[in-house]
Structure 1
């Protein structure tokens, strides 16, 4: 009886044992488009190896284990001594070790490093997103430390190392280190100028003693942290090592770990500084300007991380629909389901294409590309991270009740989805940053318009959207209240321009018709029925 009633039929096989990189055509094409041809063979080989690992049963199990066994804070040892250590499940260390070994913290001194690293980050964080936080922070600390050449010379080789060296020891004794960041405080949040943590100069040049708190301190198990504190001349950036060179613990009291909606594998904490030793990074009173390079890099990672979540959600939804049958045929062949899947695929490809374009601008490093990034990064961070949550929620629905069950992995994706829209400045912060750049840096707008204008004349809906954007930019009356609308349009026009130039015609056509042409409803799955939706879905479907 049991064998008869429990025969399993009409269930999709697990999406496991596949290459996360090569099955993502938009990502592969992005790497080929933005990387020097001389680097393509080696990049493809390393990304495919990482992709196969990310798609393996083992890596997927690590992701489950790291989230089912969240970090535990130990404030004291058995004798009452303060230790402030965070204990992680072994799976977390395996995920981190693979990320570091794969060069995800070593982009800055490698040819084509940002494109290769962005692709790797997008691939590997599909296995598990939480450990991407310390990887992102470590990667992003490099440009901030370059404000002090001596500090950069000391720390950059450790930050960009391909060795994951676990445990708390003096940084000079480690083959590689991780970094975290502490900016926000209880009373200020995003308004870091309201910070009250004080920095008192010590006798040794460039050294200080910090007293205060941080309401959110990322990755508290790290070897060092970039933090903001008020010095005599104003808000200043400091490097706080976790362990001092004499092997003693720096004053770094972890009060508690945050109990978050998602991102369970990663430790986010509240910390207190009380006579904490620190080294100044950059000039006194220039803390925001110094640390903004780190913030910009982590904002790009928010875009990449959201693109990774979107891609994994689309992969799961299209895979399920390919195998699941209902009402006399495969779900993927049903016109309405095909419309939903195609709409999700468009959102994912637009996010991936934009993320890779931004990474290529970092590799270029020229004035024009830097000006472009000044507007494009906050606009992309605003829009892509905002789209992630509803998109992942719709993908979950494609699996029906199966998607609502933890074993599917979809609930973990959905809980993770809102994170990047909040981390490194929520939507309003990004929108206001765009306005600030528009008002103060005219070269940034010029670079942005040149980028989107490269596709003018190729699609009438894109041309109309660009014209509407220019009209919006010409009217500054009540601009702050309209900032979200403006930034949304900027992001959509930029995505449309990129897809018109680089994506297959059916993808560009569907994107422009819906996102720019206005033939689109409020929910996913409302694309014009006359489009070639089958090709869009087929392109997005992973192959086992």
Structure 2
């Protein structure tokens, strides 16, 4: 189905006018697109997470199925991620009417009832900076909470979804003014079509011509008096979408892991068949080393992604009103970790997909091999839901909001997991060196954060945000790989020895124990001149 959707003849098409010059804005997709929707519903790819049949592990089961589905789904995982996020927001703050009307459909296993949701946040002035959003909402009927929304959404994925969540500025009904900045934004939910089947105040200006995700309809939309309902409290739109971002960022993270898994599987299979210079590639030391590095990136990415998923399941299943230390710790680390994991896993994973393509030589560059599509589709995950720089700034934001508590919680998680491993391995020298490397990496992070120059200079903090984010990502990845090896050893699983090697190799590579060298004010000014010329100033 996914391959059928991804052929040029089956790419989404936009028909703006009918034979009588009436505006219809009809988007058509490949037949396989609908089939992918039906499979997602029947397999419970959203429902599993909300039925919670397996309690906190329901999310792990759900995302394990997503892991199998995503590489062959022609990016149908994108509307599923936004549907999942929308379901969670409705579960948390939706009215009973909204839950009956929308939530029940978003989590349905019946393809005839199942709905997907879009997420329209991005506008022309701001991109990731939603505080510059221009879309406005006017109250039509306070008794039914009906609003009229007008504006322009510049990048709207899953444009064929049944409903959407979007941000808009509420117009003051008394004086016609609107609040500027992110605090003036509220969250709204709207159906794509009216009961008569016509579009609900939506005009599709054009479909985006994208580098990848070709089967996924993405459009520029003009909203002209779109009927919607406010979700949550006025002016709380940005905090309300935090639940969506936690989920969609995890989908993005897992999406790259899936693409790398598929690309690496192709490269490994090819290595067992391809003869070069008298040897098969799987008998060539340099080629083996290259594939081993890719395997490490994959395993580290999978550990980070599924740790986020585990935390998501635990936080969702914690007792209502509970304020236990474990619950608070999970919530803090999940909020801190989602931008770290997405930034690090997506950046490392896309590079690894490119390396997997190269491992097949010229054959890897051929479209029909399949790595090209995986690479293009993986690339968008470094951009969706926040670019690497936006995510790095978000890491700093969480540190400020929690007054550094998130870093203390992060350190505690690392210590608890290494303590577990130490209890399993006792005085084993190999694993002791791994634990020592993890401890060194953690100390490097603490020294970097505590350095006086970083604390006092805002420009310096921002310039070094990527370094910090990546250091946190690779340190936790090493910790999780060690924990996996300890678990396998404790349960006498056959992969234990291999997993110890993986953890050992990870903690010896990728600059794991290298101190973080801050970029200072002078270097920042130098970099500005290198990029923008000798007159550049910041």
Using structure 2 for the length normalisation, give the TM-score.
Answer: 0.81
Q: Which moved more, 1:277-286 or 1:470-479?
A: 470-479
SS of 1:209's equivalent in the other structure is strand
Matched, 1:236 2:186: yes
Name the CA distance, whole Å, in 2 between partners of 1:440 and 1:422.
24
Equivalent residue for 2:482?
500
Name the CA distance, whole Å, in 1 between partners of 2:447 and 2:292.
31
Name the CA distance, whole Å, in 2 between partners of 1:501 and 1:419.
31
Matched, 1:149 2:95: yes
Name the CA distance, whole Å, in 1 between partners of 2:312 and 2:299.
20
- The answer to whether the 8 Å contact 1:199/1:230 transfers is yes
Equivalent residue for 1:465?
441
Q: What whole-Å deviation, never above 9, does each CA across 1:36-78 have from its counterpart, x for those lacking one?
A: xxxxxxxxxxxxxxxxxxxxxxx5643644x652100122222
Equivalent in 396, 406, 414 of residue 444 of structure 1: 406
SS of 1:108's equivalent in the other structure is helix
Equivalent residue for 2:371?
410
Name the CA distance, whole Å, in 2 between partners of 1:62 and 1:500.
41
- 1:409/1:63 Cα in 2 relative to 1: closer, same or farther (>3 Å)? farther
Mapping of residues 5-404 of structure 1, within 5 Å: 59=1, 61-62=3-4, 64-65=6-7, 69-106=10-47, 107-110=49-52, 111=54, 112-145=57-90, 146-150=92-96, 151-165=98-112, 175-205=113-143, 206-232=145-171, 234-245=184-195, 247-365=197-315, 366-404=327-365
Equivalent residue for 1:480?
462
Q: What whole-Å deviation, never above 9, does each CA across 1:219-260 have from its counterpart, x for those lacking one?
A: 111110101111036211111111224544311111111000
Name the CA distance, whole Å, in 2 between partners of 1:247 and 1:90.
20
- The answer to whether the 8 Å contact 1:148/1:281 transfers is yes
Name the CA distance, whole Å, in 1 between partners of 2:409 and 2:196.
49
Q: What whole-Å deviation, never above 9, does each CA across 1:159-199 have from its counterpart, x for those lacking one?
A: 0112334xxxxxxxxx1111001101111111111111110
Matched, 1:509 2:451: no
Name the CA distance, whole Å, in 2 between partners of 1:387 and 1:428.
14
Q: Which moved more, 1:372-381 or 1:470-479?
A: 470-479
Name the CA distance, whole Å, in 1 between partners of 2:19 and 2:79.
29
Equivalent residue for 1:23?
none
- 1:129/1:438 Cα in 2 relative to 1: closer, same or farther (>3 Å)? farther
- The answer to whether the 8 Å contact 1:76/1:82 transfers is yes
- The answer to whether the 8 Å contact 1:161/1:176 transfers is yes
- The answer to whether the 8 Å contact 1:493/1:516 transfers is no
Stretches of structure 1 lacking an aligned partner (at least 5 in a row): 1-58, 166-174, 520-544
Name the CA distance, whole Å, in 1 between partners of 2:111 and 2:185.
32
Mapping of residues 518-529 of structure 1, within 5 Å: none
- 1:68/1:306 Cα in 2 relative to 1: closer, same or farther (>3 Å)? farther
Q: What whole-Å deviation, never above 9, does each CA across 1:371-390 have from its counterpart, x for those lacking one?
A: 11111100001111111221
SS of 1:454's equivalent in the other structure is helix
SS of 2:226's equivalent in the other structure is strand
Equivalent residue for 1:47?
none
- The answer to whether the 8 Å contact 2:2/2:32 transfers is no
Q: Which moved more, 1:439-448 or 1:494-503?
A: 439-448
- 1:414 offset after TM fit, Å? 1.8
SS of 2:80's equivalent in the other structure is helix
- 1:435 offset after TM fit, Å? 0.4
Q: Which moved more, 1:459-468 or 1:426-435?
A: 459-468
SS of 2:296's equivalent in the other structure is helix
Q: What whole-Å deviation, never above 9, does each CA across 1:96-129 have from its counterpart, x for those lacking one?
A: 3222322212212322221111111111111134
Using structure 1 for the length normalisation, give the TM-score.
Answer: 0.80
Name the CA distance, whole Å, in 2 between partners of 1:249 and 1:310.
38
Q: What whole-Å deviation, never above 9, does each CA across 1:421-444 have from its counterpart, x for those lacking one?
A: 100111111011110111111443
Name the CA distance, whole Å, in 2 between partners of 1:311 and 1:518.
27
Q: What whole-Å deviation, never above 9, does each CA across 1:467-519 have from its counterpart, x for those lacking one?
A: 11111221233211100000000000010100011041111111111025469
- 1:87/1:196 Cα in 2 relative to 1: closer, same or farther (>3 Å)? same
Name the CA distance, whole Å, in 2 between partners of 1:108 and 1:368.
22
Q: What whole-Å deviation, never above 9, does each CA across 1:291-312 have from its counterpart, x for those lacking one?
A: 1211221011111101101111
C-alpha RMSD of matched pairs (Å): 1.7
Name the CA distance, whole Å, in 2 between partners of 1:129 and 1:410.
13
SS of 2:141's equivalent in the other structure is coil
Stretches of structure 2 lacking an aligned partner (at least 5 in a row): 172-178, 316-326, 423-431, 486-498, 515-538
SS of 2:223's equivalent in the other structure is strand
